[in-house]
Amino acid sequence: MKGSLIILSFFATGLLLGVFRWLPIGFLNNNASFYVLCLLMFSVGVSIGNEPATFRQFRNLNPRLIFLPIMTIAGTWLGIISVSFFIKDRSLADCLAVGSGFGYYSLSSVLITQYKGVELGTIALLSNIMREVITLLFAPLMVKYFGNLSPISAGGATTMDTTFPIIIRTSGKDYAVISIYQGFIVDFTVPFLVTLFCSL
Amino acid sequence: MFIVIACMLAGIAVGFIFRHHKARFIHRLILTLVWLLLFLLGLEVGANEMVVRQFGKLGFEAFLLAASGTFGSVVAAWLLWLSYSKKSENV
Protein backbone atom coordinates (compact mmCIF):
# COMPACT_ATOMS: atom_id res chain seq x y z
CA MET A 1 0.00 0.00 0.00
CA LYS A 2 2.82 2.40 0.89
CA GLY A 3 4.54 1.56 -2.39
CA SER A 4 1.35 2.39 -4.33
CA LEU A 5 1.07 5.75 -2.56
CA ILE A 6 4.65 6.64 -3.49
CA ILE A 7 3.99 5.71 -7.12
CA LEU A 8 0.75 7.68 -7.11
CA SER A 9 2.56 10.71 -5.70
CA PHE A 10 5.05 10.62 -8.59
CA PHE A 11 2.10 10.59 -10.98
CA ALA A 12 0.41 13.43 -9.09
CA THR A 13 3.60 15.53 -9.08
CA GLY A 14 3.93 15.10 -12.84
CA LEU A 15 0.25 15.94 -13.23
CA LEU A 16 0.58 19.22 -11.32
CA LEU A 17 3.74 20.21 -13.17
CA GLY A 18 1.91 19.50 -16.43
CA VAL A 19 -1.30 21.35 -15.53
CA PHE A 20 0.53 24.50 -14.41
CA ARG A 21 3.07 24.27 -17.26
CA TRP A 22 6.00 24.39 -14.88
CA LEU A 23 8.06 22.40 -17.32
CA PRO A 24 8.67 23.39 -20.94
CA ILE A 25 6.38 21.42 -23.28
CA GLY A 26 9.39 20.53 -25.44
CA PHE A 27 10.30 18.22 -22.59
CA LEU A 28 7.58 15.83 -23.76
CA ASN A 29 8.11 15.95 -27.48
CA ASN A 30 11.19 13.78 -27.53
CA ASN A 31 10.55 10.10 -27.15
CA ALA A 32 12.21 9.84 -23.74
CA SER A 33 9.46 7.78 -22.12
CA PHE A 34 9.65 5.16 -24.86
CA TYR A 35 13.35 4.57 -24.21
CA VAL A 36 12.79 4.46 -20.47
CA LEU A 37 10.02 1.94 -21.10
CA CYS A 38 12.36 -0.26 -23.16
CA LEU A 39 14.91 -0.11 -20.38
CA LEU A 40 12.22 -0.99 -17.83
CA MET A 41 11.08 -4.01 -19.86
CA PHE A 42 14.67 -5.16 -20.23
CA SER A 43 15.12 -4.92 -16.44
CA VAL A 44 11.86 -6.79 -15.80
CA GLY A 45 13.17 -9.50 -18.14
CA VAL A 46 16.49 -9.68 -16.29
CA SER A 47 14.69 -10.05 -12.95
CA ILE A 48 12.66 -12.98 -14.35
CA GLY A 49 15.60 -14.75 -16.01
CA ASN A 50 17.78 -14.22 -12.97
CA GLU A 51 15.53 -16.25 -10.62
CA PRO A 52 15.11 -19.73 -12.07
CA ALA A 53 14.56 -20.98 -8.50
CA THR A 54 11.07 -19.47 -8.63
CA PHE A 55 10.03 -22.05 -11.22
CA ARG A 56 11.23 -24.98 -9.14
CA GLN A 57 8.79 -24.50 -6.27
CA PHE A 58 5.88 -24.53 -8.73
CA ARG A 59 6.42 -28.28 -9.13
CA ASN A 60 4.75 -28.88 -5.76
CA LEU A 61 1.50 -27.31 -6.94
CA ASN A 62 -1.74 -29.23 -7.02
CA PRO A 63 -2.35 -29.91 -10.75
CA ARG A 64 -5.91 -28.60 -10.58
CA LEU A 65 -4.71 -25.19 -9.41
CA ILE A 66 -2.49 -24.78 -12.46
CA PHE A 67 -5.59 -23.44 -14.19
CA LEU A 68 -6.12 -20.56 -11.76
CA PRO A 69 -4.28 -17.95 -13.90
CA ILE A 70 -6.42 -18.98 -16.89
CA MET A 71 -9.57 -18.56 -14.79
CA THR A 72 -8.33 -15.12 -13.70
CA ILE A 73 -7.70 -13.99 -17.26
CA ALA A 74 -10.90 -15.47 -18.73
CA GLY A 75 -13.04 -14.20 -15.85
CA THR A 76 -11.62 -10.70 -16.16
CA TRP A 77 -12.30 -10.62 -19.87
CA LEU A 78 -15.89 -11.85 -19.45
CA GLY A 79 -16.51 -9.17 -16.83
CA ILE A 80 -15.00 -6.50 -19.08
CA ILE A 81 -16.97 -7.67 -22.12
CA SER A 82 -20.24 -7.50 -20.21
CA VAL A 83 -19.64 -3.92 -19.05
CA SER A 84 -18.10 -2.68 -22.31
CA PHE A 85 -21.56 -2.33 -23.87
CA PHE A 86 -22.27 0.45 -21.39
CA ILE A 87 -19.08 2.34 -22.20
CA LYS A 88 -20.08 3.76 -25.54
CA ASP A 89 -17.02 5.76 -26.54
CA ARG A 90 -14.48 2.94 -26.05
CA SER A 91 -14.03 -0.04 -28.33
CA LEU A 92 -14.11 -3.55 -26.90
CA ALA A 93 -10.40 -3.96 -27.69
CA ASP A 94 -9.61 -0.78 -25.73
CA CYS A 95 -11.59 -2.03 -22.72
CA LEU A 96 -9.87 -5.42 -22.86
CA ALA A 97 -6.45 -3.73 -23.10
CA VAL A 98 -7.20 -1.84 -19.87
CA GLY A 99 -8.50 -5.00 -18.18
CA SER A 100 -5.46 -6.98 -19.27
CA GLY A 101 -3.32 -4.91 -16.91
CA PHE A 102 -4.68 -7.22 -14.16
CA GLY A 103 -3.69 -4.67 -11.53
CA TYR A 104 -0.19 -4.14 -12.91
CA TYR A 105 -0.89 -0.43 -13.28
CA SER A 106 2.63 0.89 -13.77
CA LEU A 107 3.45 -1.24 -16.77
CA SER A 108 0.00 -1.40 -18.38
CA SER A 109 -0.61 2.35 -18.18
CA VAL A 110 2.75 3.18 -19.70
CA LEU A 111 2.36 0.60 -22.48
CA ILE A 112 -1.17 1.75 -23.31
CA THR A 113 -0.07 5.40 -23.33
CA GLN A 114 2.62 4.48 -25.85
CA TYR A 115 0.25 2.53 -28.07
CA LYS A 116 -3.08 4.32 -27.70
CA GLY A 117 -2.43 7.74 -26.23
CA VAL A 118 -2.66 9.45 -22.92
CA GLU A 119 -6.45 9.25 -22.49
CA LEU A 120 -6.69 5.46 -22.45
CA GLY A 121 -3.40 5.36 -20.55
CA THR A 122 -4.98 7.40 -17.75
CA ILE A 123 -7.97 5.04 -17.63
CA ALA A 124 -5.56 2.10 -17.45
CA LEU A 125 -3.64 3.65 -14.56
CA LEU A 126 -6.75 4.48 -12.53
CA SER A 127 -8.53 1.23 -13.35
CA ASN A 128 -5.63 -1.02 -12.39
CA ILE A 129 -4.91 0.90 -9.19
CA MET A 130 -8.60 0.45 -8.33
CA ARG A 131 -8.31 -3.29 -8.92
CA GLU A 132 -5.49 -3.50 -6.41
CA VAL A 133 -7.38 -1.40 -3.87
CA ILE A 134 -10.59 -3.43 -4.35
CA THR A 135 -8.59 -6.61 -3.68
CA LEU A 136 -6.93 -5.17 -0.57
CA LEU A 137 -10.25 -3.95 0.84
CA PHE A 138 -12.57 -6.83 -0.05
CA ALA A 139 -10.30 -9.90 0.25
CA PRO A 140 -12.03 -11.06 3.49
CA LEU A 141 -15.49 -10.80 1.93
CA MET A 142 -14.29 -12.60 -1.21
CA VAL A 143 -13.00 -15.53 0.83
CA LYS A 144 -16.26 -15.68 2.76
CA TYR A 145 -18.56 -15.83 -0.26
CA PHE A 146 -16.42 -17.11 -3.15
CA GLY A 147 -13.84 -19.42 -1.59
CA ASN A 148 -10.14 -19.17 -0.78
CA LEU A 149 -8.99 -18.80 -4.38
CA SER A 150 -11.06 -15.67 -5.10
CA PRO A 151 -8.76 -12.97 -3.66
CA ILE A 152 -5.87 -14.54 -5.58
CA SER A 153 -7.81 -14.15 -8.83
CA ALA A 154 -8.90 -10.63 -7.89
CA GLY A 155 -5.29 -9.65 -7.20
CA GLY A 156 -4.36 -10.62 -10.77
CA ALA A 157 -0.73 -9.75 -11.50
CA THR A 158 -0.09 -8.32 -8.03
CA THR A 159 -0.42 -11.50 -5.95
CA MET A 160 3.30 -12.06 -5.59
CA ASP A 161 4.01 -8.57 -4.28
CA THR A 162 1.51 -5.93 -3.16
CA THR A 163 -1.54 -8.09 -2.42
CA PHE A 164 0.46 -11.12 -1.22
CA PRO A 165 0.28 -10.25 2.50
CA ILE A 166 -3.51 -9.82 2.54
CA ILE A 167 -3.99 -13.08 0.64
CA ILE A 168 -1.89 -14.98 3.16
CA ARG A 169 -3.91 -13.44 5.96
CA THR A 170 -7.35 -14.13 4.48
CA SER A 171 -6.89 -17.37 2.49
CA GLY A 172 -4.20 -18.87 4.72
CA LYS A 173 -0.51 -19.77 4.53
CA ASP A 174 -1.30 -22.86 2.45
CA TYR A 175 -2.06 -20.54 -0.44
CA ALA A 176 1.33 -18.82 -0.57
CA VAL A 177 2.76 -20.90 -3.43
CA ILE A 178 -0.37 -20.73 -5.58
CA SER A 179 -0.49 -16.98 -4.98
CA ILE A 180 3.11 -16.50 -6.14
CA TYR A 181 2.56 -18.85 -9.08
CA GLN A 182 -0.58 -17.03 -10.23
CA GLY A 183 1.08 -13.59 -9.82
CA PHE A 184 4.11 -14.74 -11.78
CA ILE A 185 2.13 -16.14 -14.71
CA VAL A 186 -0.36 -13.29 -14.97
CA ASP A 187 2.43 -10.72 -14.55
CA PHE A 188 4.24 -12.29 -17.46
CA THR A 189 1.17 -12.18 -19.74
CA VAL A 190 0.48 -8.45 -19.20
CA PRO A 191 2.86 -7.01 -21.83
CA PHE A 192 1.79 -9.59 -24.40
CA LEU A 193 -1.98 -9.25 -23.89
CA VAL A 194 -1.91 -5.44 -23.65
CA THR A 195 0.12 -5.26 -26.87
CA LEU A 196 -2.27 -7.70 -28.52
CA PHE A 197 -5.41 -5.72 -27.69
CA CYS A 198 -3.77 -2.41 -28.58
CA SER A 199 -2.85 -3.70 -32.02
CA LEU A 200 -6.38 -4.93 -32.83
CA MET B 1 5.25 -1.82 -30.90
CA PHE B 2 6.85 -5.22 -30.48
CA ILE B 3 10.22 -3.65 -29.70
CA VAL B 4 9.04 -3.38 -26.10
CA ILE B 5 8.42 -7.13 -25.84
CA ALA B 6 11.70 -7.88 -27.62
CA CYS B 7 13.43 -5.83 -24.89
CA MET B 8 11.86 -8.02 -22.22
CA LEU B 9 12.82 -11.25 -23.96
CA ALA B 10 16.38 -9.99 -24.37
CA GLY B 11 16.38 -9.17 -20.65
CA ILE B 12 15.22 -12.70 -19.76
CA ALA B 13 18.07 -14.15 -21.84
CA VAL B 14 20.65 -11.86 -20.23
CA GLY B 15 19.26 -12.56 -16.74
CA PHE B 16 19.39 -16.30 -17.36
CA ILE B 17 22.96 -16.20 -18.69
CA PHE B 18 24.03 -14.37 -15.53
CA ARG B 19 21.78 -16.42 -13.21
CA HIS B 20 24.72 -17.31 -10.98
CA HIS B 21 25.39 -13.61 -10.39
CA LYS B 22 22.37 -12.38 -8.49
CA ALA B 23 21.47 -8.92 -9.78
CA ARG B 24 20.25 -7.47 -6.50
CA PHE B 25 20.21 -3.91 -7.83
CA ILE B 26 17.64 -4.84 -10.49
CA HIS B 27 14.57 -4.46 -8.25
CA ARG B 28 15.73 -1.01 -7.17
CA LEU B 29 16.31 -0.08 -10.80
CA ILE B 30 12.84 -1.31 -11.81
CA LEU B 31 11.22 0.72 -9.02
CA THR B 32 13.14 3.86 -10.00
CA LEU B 33 12.20 3.46 -13.67
CA VAL B 34 8.55 2.94 -12.69
CA TRP B 35 8.65 6.17 -10.66
CA LEU B 36 10.21 8.03 -13.57
CA LEU B 37 7.67 6.68 -16.07
CA LEU B 38 4.68 7.44 -13.87
CA PHE B 39 6.05 10.96 -13.38
CA LEU B 40 6.33 11.36 -17.16
CA LEU B 41 2.82 9.95 -17.59
CA GLY B 42 1.51 12.48 -15.06
CA LEU B 43 3.28 15.25 -16.92
CA GLU B 44 1.74 14.15 -20.19
CA VAL B 45 -1.74 13.86 -18.67
CA GLY B 46 -1.44 17.25 -16.97
CA ALA B 47 -0.31 19.00 -20.14
CA ASN B 48 -3.28 17.57 -22.06
CA GLU B 49 -6.20 19.91 -21.33
CA MET B 50 -8.78 17.61 -22.86
CA VAL B 51 -7.80 14.76 -20.57
CA VAL B 52 -7.68 17.02 -17.51
CA ARG B 53 -11.20 18.31 -18.24
CA GLN B 54 -12.51 14.75 -18.62
CA PHE B 55 -10.73 13.37 -15.58
CA GLY B 56 -13.98 12.58 -13.72
CA LYS B 57 -15.47 10.75 -16.70
CA LEU B 58 -12.24 8.79 -17.29
CA GLY B 59 -12.21 7.87 -13.61
CA PHE B 60 -15.77 6.56 -13.81
CA GLU B 61 -14.95 4.43 -16.86
CA ALA B 62 -11.86 3.16 -15.05
CA PHE B 63 -14.02 2.18 -12.08
CA LEU B 64 -16.51 0.29 -14.28
CA LEU B 65 -13.67 -1.67 -15.90
CA ALA B 66 -11.93 -2.37 -12.59
CA ALA B 67 -15.08 -3.53 -10.81
CA SER B 68 -16.34 -5.72 -13.66
CA GLY B 69 -12.94 -7.27 -14.36
CA THR B 70 -12.32 -8.04 -10.69
CA PHE B 71 -15.82 -9.43 -10.20
CA GLY B 72 -15.53 -11.63 -13.30
CA SER B 73 -12.26 -13.12 -12.10
CA VAL B 74 -13.65 -13.69 -8.60
CA VAL B 75 -16.57 -15.66 -10.03
CA ALA B 76 -14.22 -17.67 -12.26
CA ALA B 77 -12.03 -18.49 -9.25
CA TRP B 78 -15.15 -19.52 -7.33
CA LEU B 79 -16.05 -22.04 -10.06
CA LEU B 80 -12.55 -23.53 -9.87
CA TRP B 81 -12.80 -23.53 -6.06
CA LEU B 82 -16.11 -25.45 -6.14
CA SER B 83 -14.67 -28.15 -8.39
CA TYR B 84 -11.44 -28.21 -6.38
CA SER B 85 -12.82 -28.39 -2.86
CA LYS B 86 -15.09 -31.26 -3.85
CA LYS B 87 -12.10 -33.38 -4.86
CA SER B 88 -9.43 -32.78 -2.27
CA GLU B 89 -8.64 -31.08 0.99
CA ASN B 90 -4.97 -30.16 0.63
CA VAL B 91 -3.46 -27.48 -1.63
Q: Do B38 and A14 touch (CB under 8 A)?
A: yes
- Do B42 and B8 belong together in one domain? yes
More confident residue, A102 or A53: A102
Range of the domain at B70: 55-91
Report yes or no: A20 and B45 within 8 Å, Cβ to Cβ: no
Confidence grade of residue A144 (pLDDT, cut at 50, 70, 90): very high
pLDDT digit string (tens) for chain B, length 91 residues:
578 788 888 998 999 898 888 878 888 898 888 888 888 878 878 887 878 888 899 999 999 999 999 999 999 999 999 987 776 555 4
A-B contacts (CB, under 8 Å): 317
Tally of domains within chain B: 2
Q: Is B30 in contact with A47 (Cβ distance < 8 A)?
A: yes
pLDDT digit string, tens, across residues A163-187: 888 888 899 888 888 998 999 899 9
Judgement on whether residues B36 and B65 belong to the same structural domain of the protein: no
Q: Looking at chain A, which residue has its C-alpha nearest residue B70?
A: A154
- Residues B49 and B59 grouped into a single domain: no
The interface predicted TM-score of the complex, written ipTM, equals 0.85
Tell whether B87 and B48 lie within a shared domain.
no
In this structure, the answer to whether residues B33 and B67 fall within a common structural domain is no
- Predicted local confidence at residue A63, as pLDDT: 83
pLDDT value at position B31? 82
Q: What CA–CA distance (Å, rounded) separates B67 from B47?
A: 29
Answer for the pair A38, B4: CB distance below 8 angstroms, yes or no: yes
Count Cβ atoms within 10 A of the Cβ of residue A88 and give its class: 0-12 exposed, 13-18 middle, 19 or more buried.
exposed
Q: What element of type H or E holds A3?
A: helix A2-19
Which chain B residues are Cβ-neighbours of A20 within 8 angstroms?
A: 46
CA dihedral in degrees (B72, A193, A103, A106; nearest 10)? -160
Residues B59 and B35 in one domain: no
Which residues in chain B are closer than 8 Å to A111, comparing Cβ atoms? 4
Looking at the structure, tell me whether residues B33 and B68 fall in a common domain: no
Instruction: Please report residues of A whose CB lies closer than 8 A to that of B43.
Output: 14-15, 17-18, 23, 27-28
pTM of full prediction above 0.80:
yes
Q: Is A71 close to B63, i.e. CB distance below 8 A?
A: no
Q: Are A181 and A61 in contact (CB under 8 A)?
A: yes
